Amino acid sequence: MKFQFLSKLGIHLARVVIALLLPTVPAICAAQGDVTDPAAAVPPVVYQSVFADTPQGVEMQTTDWKKANAEVGQFRRGHVDILKWEEANPPAKPPNKAPAQALSKPGMPGGAPATPAGAAAGMHKH
């Protein structure tokens, strides 16, 4: 068999490595014991939760699950009932806020335009 991508030295080196490692296989198998014996001693399984790294304290308050389940259960047809409930119970309108432009400084991005240099206070404004 001819392997063109392997040199003769590479093949010889691979054979030497295999020859050196082959005698260790029975020792490794013996250290493991009889793998077909169901009563063989095995190391204990260490449990590590997949949620161990999950951030804690995200929710500020807890809700009684029975109450939450009852609230969701009132919507028998799912999303359609939720939409109808939201339509019948619109949210309270927030108080009027000052426009964002009034809060920003002139000349700032998104703010009121800067006053032109030649404009006087009493001039006509558009």
Residue 117 has pLDDT above 80, yes or no: no
Q: How confident is the model at residue 103 (pLDDT cuts 50, 70, 90)?
A: low
- In the predicted model, what is the mean pLDDT of residues 1-18? 74
How confident is the model over 32-42, as a mean pLDDT? 79
Q: How confident is the model at residue 100 (pLDDT cuts 50, 70, 90)?
A: low
Assess whether pLDDT exceeds 70 at residue 25: yes
Please, what's the b/e burial string for 5-29 (b: 16 or more CB within 10 A of its CB; e: otherwise)? Answer: eeeeeeeeeeeeeeeeeeeeeeeee
67 HSE (CA, 13 A, CB side) = 3
Question: Given a cut of 60, is residue 112 above it in pLDDT?
Answer: no
- Tell me the mean pLDDT in the region 8-18: 82
Q: Identify which has the larger pLDDT, 38 or 110.
A: 38
Distance, CA of 83 to CA of 76 (rounded, Å): 12
Q: Choose between 124 and 52: higher pLDDT.
A: 52
At 42 the pLDDT is 80
